[in-house]
Amino acid sequence: MNSAFVASLGAAGFAVLLSRAIVPPRRLLAGRVRPYAAISRSRLGTGYADVSVATVTRYDDRTPVGRVFGPLLGQLAEKLGGLVDAADHDTLRRRLRNAGFADTDPAQYRMRQLTHTVGGIALGVVLGLVVGSIAIMLLLISCFGFIGATLQRNRLNAATEKRAERMRGEVYTIAQLLAVRLRTGSGPVDAVRSVCNLARGPVVGELRDAVSWISSGMAATRAYDKLAEATDEPSAARLYRLLAASSTTGGDIAGSLLSVAEDLRNERKQDLARSAVKRRTAMLIPLLCLITPVMIGFVAAPLPRMIFGAR
């Protein structure tokens, strides 16, 4: 009976795959309209401006098995991501962009999260079978599953902090370069474009996105305000807001850029000074841990002789 049931399931699955191969499913109209809608919405600033149009408009070339099990795995990944990150796709997309993972969409991030979780659980099961104890197996499954579920989030947070540190070190130089370009007679947009052609880095990459949005028809104020809202670095947001204000008020903003650069430089010095103090304090901790027992030993050594007398 079991063999007949398995054979019937296999025959049914083969018939489904054969029918889909002979008569492929019809493509939805949304996939055909999406390339045109993505470009229009990105120019309006309400759609896919933060991701590439190629990523949004790509054709679903998955295998029939992937089309069948893909939505199920996607739902599992979304539920797991809701438990671990508790963020919607827009927030997750902004976090990925701030971490430097602009080519990774939220669905891919969730799927990698699910893959690492399943891998951690499988590793816990294997180690538990080797040990031969159910309690230890459950403990290993919980530990490795938790590590796998939070691995992507920890990598994302670490990459975000590293990129923000680079941006804090670059904003001062970028503001000075913009001030020099403006003093030589260039316009605000031309100055930003020339600096983007010469320099490299996360701040320059975001300014390059703003220049591309402006070239596609978006207002300069809207482009810089959008960068200020999307970034997590306050110093970069301050620079973007200054550029947005200069687009509406006009005038010479080279002096304002130099003032902002000087303020950011002073803040950077203060951050480095605080970091140096923290590191010096951290270096004293192991030294105190080594010296304190020796000092206590020297002080406590003569106490028995003093209390109980000489022997």
Note whether residue 208 is domain-resident: yes
Of 113, 116, 51, which is closest to residue 82 (Cα–Cα)?
113
In the chain, what are the helix, strand and coil shares in percent, each to the nearest 5? Answer: 80, 0, 20
pTM above 0.75, yes or no: no
Per-residue pLDDT of the chain (311 residues; tens, 9 = 90+): 566 776 777 778 778 777 777 777 676 676 666 666 665 665 565 444 444 444 444 445 455 555 555 667 777 777 777 777 767 777 888 888 888 887 777 888 888 888 888 888 888 888 888 887 788 888 888 888 888 888 888 888 888 888 888 888 888 888 888 888 888 877 778 888 888 888 888 888 888 888 888 888 888 888 888 888 888 888 888 888 888 887 776 666 777 778 877 887 887 778 778 888 888 888 878 878 888 888 888 777 777 777 776 55
Within-domain flag for 123:
no
Report if residue 106 sits inside a domain: no
In a domain, 68, yes or no: no
Q: Which domain holds residue 205?
A: 164-268
- Write the burial class of residue 293 (CB in 10 Å: 0-12 exposed, 13-18 middle, 19+ buried): exposed
Q: CATH code at 216?
A: 1.20.81
Domain membership of residue 188 (yes or no) is yes
pLDDT value of residue 59: 46
On whether residue 173 sits in a domain, the answer given is: yes
Domain presence at residue 178: yes
Q: What is the CA radius of gyration of the chain?
A: 30
Residue from 218, 94, 209, 106 nearest 163 by CA:
94
- Tell me if 163 sits within 8 A of 100, measured CB to CB: yes
Phi and psi at residue 57, to the nearest 5°: -100, 15
Cα distances (Å, whole numbers) of residue 279 to 154, 272, 292, 299: 23, 10, 20, 30
Q: Tell me how many domains the chain contains.
A: 1
278 in a structural domain: no
Note the pLDDT of residue 31.
Answer: 61
Q: According to the 3-state scheme, what is the secondary structure of 234-260?
A: HHHHHHHHHHHHHHHHCCCCHHHHHHH
Per the CB < 8 A criterion, the answer to whether 50 and 102 are in contact is yes
Distance separating alpha carbons of residues 122 and 104, to the nearest angstrom:
26
Determine the Cα–Cα distance for residues 84 and 74; give it in Å rounded to an integer: 15
